Every structure is written in C-alpha cells, then in structure tokens.
Structure 1
Amino acid sequence: MAPRGGVPRLVLLVSGKRKSGKDFVAEALRSRLGEDVCAVLRLSGPLKEQYAQEHGLDLQRLLDASAYKEAYRSDMIRWGEEKRQVDPGFFCRKVVEGVFQPVWLVSDTRRVSDIQWFREAYGALTQTVRVVALEQSRQQRGWVFTAGVDDAESECGLDNFGAFDWVVENHGDEQRLEEQLEDLVAFVYSRL
C-alpha cells in the first residue's frame, strides 16, 4: 500500500565509512520490512549511470564491487563533485524518481548537502542513520586506506555532522547488531 505520487512516510538516510556495512544494514532492514514497504535507494546509482553515459563506460561493471569500478572511483568522485557544485540536489532528485514504497532507505548518504536536500524536500519524515564500525572490522571486510578516496568529502563529509538520529554499531557483534535493527524496525512501524 504505497502512497500515490511517490510521497514517502519515512526517509532513512544511511551513512558511514567504506566497509562499515551501510549496504548490509540497509538490506537487513529491507528484508525485515519487505520490498513492498521499503525501497533501498543508492545515490551512487544515478551518479554511476550518468558517469557511464558521459564517459562511454560499462554501467553494470561500475555498479558492482569490482576492480573496474575502483579504476574509475577517483575520477567519478571528482566528476560527481563538479555536478554537485552546479546542482547539489541533482543525484537526490534522480534517485527518488518513480519510487512508491512508503519507506525509503538511502543507503549511501555521504554529504551534508544530501541530508539538507532530503530535509528540505521531506522535512520531519527524514531521519539520519550512521553506521559505524571499528577500523579493524572494516579491514576484515577488505577495507584498505586509499588516498584521494578515504580522505575525500565522499568519505569524510559527515564526520563532523553532529548528532545522528540513529547510530548503528556494526563491529561484528551479531547479537548487538540484531538488537539495534529490531529497535529501528519498531521505529519504522511506529511511523507507518
């Protein structure tokens, strides 16, 4: 029973460092809520689509976790920043087109401008969720510091954001993670 016209009942903006588990948490929430209730939106999707079109690249290979994507990551970041400087809401507007589920999880919120855009567009329906993981946990998941990526705005833009509405600790303690997900799911249902 999605609202007509693509107006959400709740927007969760999920952020965190590379390999913190942003996508894992978003998918875990969607699996608990169901695809008819919850859509996972990725700002990187329209960014990669537009970048691939403009640069004659294979979109499917840019969308997976491959060496192909990593080869273009730095340039995509630079290109995306240039697009955002001209129009901060460019990728935000694109990602919500045609979405009709009542709960939206934006799984890769990376900048204050992303949060500002969603708050201006959806006001009190917007909640921020920060996924945190110890550096050791991130390394176990394959993270290696990369200059120009891990020290760029795309990774550090929300480091000093302030108070997030929710903080999900994803250090590898499955029971603790499950408790946090249950709390978040209960909150979501309280808003439906």
Structure 2
Amino acid sequence: MAPLGDVPRLVLVFSGKRKSGKDFVTEVLQSRLGADVCAVLRLSGPLKERYAQEHGLDFQRLLDASTYKEAHRRDMIRWGEEKRQADPGFFCRRIVEGVSQPIWLVSDARRVSDIQWFQEAYGAVTQTVRVVATEQSRQQRGWVFTPGVDDAESECGLDNFGAFDWVIENHGDEQRLEEQLENLIEFVRSRL
C-alpha cells in the first residue's frame, strides 16, 4: 500500500556499484527535467541522518564523499542492515514523505527489498534503472575495493536481480551516455 500523500506518475529506482555514477545520472536528469517536476530521493539520507543522531556524528559530513564517511561506512552498513531486517520499508517510507513532484528518482537502491517496496507501494509506475561502469572507470572516479564494503549486500544485493527496465552504461563515453539519457528523458516526459 502506498503511503498517504501525492502519488507519483513515475518512480525510477536507480541502483549500481559505488562510483558507477548513480548520483551523477540522477542529478543530470533532475537538472534537465526541472526540480519542480522531478525529485531525487536518497535512501542513504535518512539512514545517515538517523545513524548520526544515534551515534553522535556529524550528519553533514556523512553526506559527502569524504574520508569521514568512509571511516564510518562499515558500521553504517551493519546498522542499516539491522534496521532493514526489522522493517524492510524503514528507510523507503521516510524518503517519500511530503514529496509532491510527479517524477521520483530514487538514486540509491541497494537491495531487492528496496525495489520490492517501491513496486508494491506504487505498482506499474515503478521502473528499475541500473547504472553500470567498468572497474577501470570506477577507479578513475576514486573507487578502491574495500573488503567488508564492496563485497557486502549493500554493494552486491542487486547483482543478480534479473532484468532491469533500463541499463545506463557510464563507462566514460560521453556521447553514448548522452544518447541513453536522452532516451530515458523522452520516456519520462511521455509520462507527464
């Protein structure tokens, strides 16, 4: 059942490995569609906020790509897993509260339960988008394999999900990326 409030016309649920470009892609889409039409929803936002509150940490510093965040990543993952095991929709419900735009871009789904929650709550208006990038491209963006992070469910939970509705290849070929984004934007506009 969908939470009370505005029901979106389209929910795009994005997933991908660290440094694949999920945030980049969702930010480009929002900038081209307009913030009045399109909301970027981050599952990691309420997770980091609640984690910071419970552990006396700086929430703002957990939001950026800093060594501060990386120092707390493993514990945040463990803590988030405990919350999700108790209630799979715990973070999903928080990010949709009060969103009024007709298009929602969920920028960081990491588990099958994240996608299932949106599919069950919003049905046919939910589409899945996988952002992929080669390890070399990810390394050029600063990715370094971290045991306990890159081999955890938070990174691997959707590796065998099955068929995504959309796959965006973000390997560094700007022209190819632009073509894919234009196709997705055209689809989004068809839903308005």
What is the TM-score normalised by the length of structure 2? 0.97
Question: RMSD in angstroms over aligned alpha carbons?
Answer: 0.9
Q: CA shift at 1:58, angstroms?
A: 0.6
Secondary structure at the aligned position of 2:61 is classed as: helix
Rounded to whole Å, the distance in 2 between the matches of 1:139 and 1:123 is 36
Secondary structure at the aligned position of 1:39 is classed as: strand
Q: Deviations over 1:169-192 (max 9, x none)?
A: 000000000000000000001111
Matched with 1:84 is: 84
Rounded to whole Å, the distance in 1 between the matches of 2:24 and 2:63 is 16
Q: Deviations over 1:94-140 (max 9, x none)?
A: 01111100000000011000000000000001000000001100000
Rounded to whole Å, the distance in 1 between the matches of 2:62 and 2:170 is 26
The amino acid of 1:110's aligned partner reads: R
Matched with 1:24 is: 24
| Runs of 4+ that moved beyond 4 A | none
Q: CA shift at 1:7, angstroms?
A: 1.2
Q: Please state if 1:57 is matched with 2:57.
A: yes
Matched with 1:46 is: 46
The amino acid of 1:30's aligned partner reads: Q
Rounded to whole Å, the distance in 1 between the matches of 2:115 and 2:59 is 26
Secondary structure at the aligned position of 2:186 is classed as: helix
Matched with 1:143 is: 143
Asked whether the 8 Å contact 2:14–2:128 carries over to 1, the reply is yes
Q: Please state if 1:75 is matched with 2:75.
A: yes
Asked whether the 8 Å contact 2:5–2:97 carries over to 1, the reply is no
Rounded to whole Å, the distance in 1 between the matches of 2:167 and 2:16 is 10
Identity of aligned residues (%): 85
Q: CA shift at 1:6, angstroms?
A: 2.2
Matched with 1:120 is: 120
The amino acid of 2:167's aligned partner reads: V
Secondary structure at the aligned position of 2:5 is classed as: helix
The amino acid of 1:23's aligned partner reads: D
Secondary structure at the aligned position of 1:138 is classed as: helix
Q: CA shift at 1:5, angstroms?
A: 2.7
Q: CA shift at 1:149, angstroms?
A: 0.2
Matched with 1:97 is: 97
What is the TM-score normalised by the length of structure 1? 0.97
Rounded to whole Å, the distance in 1 between the matches of 2:167 and 2:184 is 10
Rounded to whole Å, the distance in 2 between the matches of 1:29 and 1:16 is 16
Rounded to whole Å, the distance in 2 between the matches of 1:24 and 1:55 is 29
Matched with 2:36 is: 36
Secondary structure at the aligned position of 1:5 is classed as: coil
Matched with 1:11 is: 11
Matched with 1:131 is: 131
